[in-house]
Amino acid sequence: MCYSNFVAGRGQNGGTAMETKVGDTVRSILNGIEYKVKKIVKRMAVLESQDGKSQILTELENLNLFYKKKRGKAV
Q: Check: CB of residue 1 under 8 Å from CB of residue 74.
A: yes
| Residue 69: pLDDT over 80 | yes
Q: What confidence tens digit (pLDDT) does each residue in 52-64 have? A: 999 999 999 999 8
pTM above 0.75? no
Please report which confidence band the pLDDT of residue 7 belongs to, taking 50, 70 and 90 as the band edges: very low
Mean pLDDT computed over 2-27: 62
Of residues 1 and 27, the one with the higher pLDDT is 27
